[in-house]
Structure 1
Amino acid sequence: MKKTLVDQLSQYAAYHRDPRNIASHFIGIPLIVVAVAVLLARPQWAGGWLSPAVLVALASAWFYLRLELRLGLVMSALMALAVWAGHVVAQQSTLVWLASGIGLFVVGWAIQFVGHHYEGRKPAFVDDLVGLIVGPLFVVADLAFLLGMRQALKEQIEARVGGVRMNPHRAAA
């Protein structure tokens, strides 16, 4: 049985209830997404517009669009921006391309792991690799929630996993 948008976001959200962890994801996940786009932007075929980054972005967009059209369109646009940035960086020297991609990737994951330290729980992808593709969607959905949008979706997720709360077992930074 196919998991719904609420199923996917709830499963991911269960690993992300501490606001410090969620905040780390607003920085870490975009860095990781751009890093992957940068690293996969070489090689390029068909006059430079096709690359492994484009293929991964198309597969990701398909995943998001199948969950929900509105968020899927937003995610598709964001993936397109990441691929564009990746292709721009891939046009630089090999040293700049690799240093940028690897640097963004390492910094992004370091930020993620700091957030999960506060959460007191391992990242979602450790238990289910689908968490790697749901993470960017979680960030976009959470941004929508912060902007007062998609409150019914937020309520459905919180009914399953509870609200956002500080982990009392982890000291404030």
Structure 2
Amino acid sequence: MRRIDHLLSEYGESHQNVTNKSIHWVCVPLIFFSIVGLVASIPAQTVQSFLGEGNAYANWATVVLVLVTIYYVTLSIPLSVGMMLFGVLCLVLVNVIVRLNIAPLWAVCIGIFVLAWIGQFYGHKVEGKKPSFFKDVQFLLIGPAWLMHFIYKKLGIPY
């Protein structure tokens, strides 16, 4: 069994309840997005000097997403493409929030992060099982890939 299949299967063991699964379809992408936004909020003079001053995507979130994509490549090249595209979408949405200037990016992302985790813990309460990352922190990155693999299956794309 491939490592990605083992990880997705193990993650899926604590995600059988329909309500919990539905909550995950909303909350996991929101948590991923909020983390991208929080990391993008970190001052990035070093990154900007390397990637170009004034570049809206020259931030720590871009650097972290490159590293996360490398992790996904080690598991599945097709899934890594989908996750990279989702990461790019998150970066675009982060920049939209910054341009709208409705509130500081970090404040918006903390609000999303807290509400999404409340949803996640509620889902796991309904499920009756602890979140997978309590067993292994790497499951924080497997959760988004788990959802992506369902999208791939629906589209008939091998992962």
| TM-score > 0.5 by shorter chain | yes
Conserved in 2, the CA contact under 8 Å of 1:4 and 1:67?
yes
TM-score norm. by structure 2 comes to 0.83
Corresponding position of 2:34: 35
1:125 to 117, 129, 133: 133
Query: What is the TM-score of this pair, normalised by structure 1?
Result: 0.77
Deviant stretches of 4+, over 4 Å: 91-94
Tell me, yes or no, if structure 1 residue 141 matches structure 2 residue 141: no
TM-superposed CA distance for 1:82, in Å, is 0.8
C-alpha RMSD of the superposition: 2.1
Segment of structure 1 superposing worse, 67-76 or 39-48? 39-48
Specify the code of the residue in structure 1 equivalent to 2:4.
L
Structure 2: how far apart are the matches of 1:6 and 1:14? Answer: 12
Are positions 1:72 and 2:62 aligned together? no
Note the residue ranges of structure 1 that are not aligned, 5 or more in a row: 154-173
Q: Secondary structure at the match of 1:40?
A: helix
- Within a 5 Å distance, the mapping from 1:36-51 to structure 2 comes to 36-42=35-41, 43-44=43-44, 45=48, 46-47=52-53, 48=55, 49-51=57-59
Distance 1:86 1:93 in 2: 11
Describe how 1:1-173 pairs up with structure 2 within 5 A: 4-42=3-41, 43-44=43-44, 45=48, 46-47=52-53, 48=55, 49-91=57-99, 93=101, 95-145=103-153, 147=154, 149=156
Structure 2 unaligned residues grouped into runs of 5+: none
Asked if structure 2 preserves the Cα contact closer than 8 Å seen for 1:24 and 1:111, the reply is yes
- Partners of 1:56 and 1:88 lie apart in 2 by 19
Q: 2:15 is aligned with what amino acid?
A: H
Aligned length: 149
* Structure with the bigger percentage of helix: 2
Deviations 1:70-101 (A, max 9, x none): 11111111111112222332456594312211
Q: Aligned in 2, Cα 1:148/1:73: closer, same or farther, shift over 3 Å?
A: closer
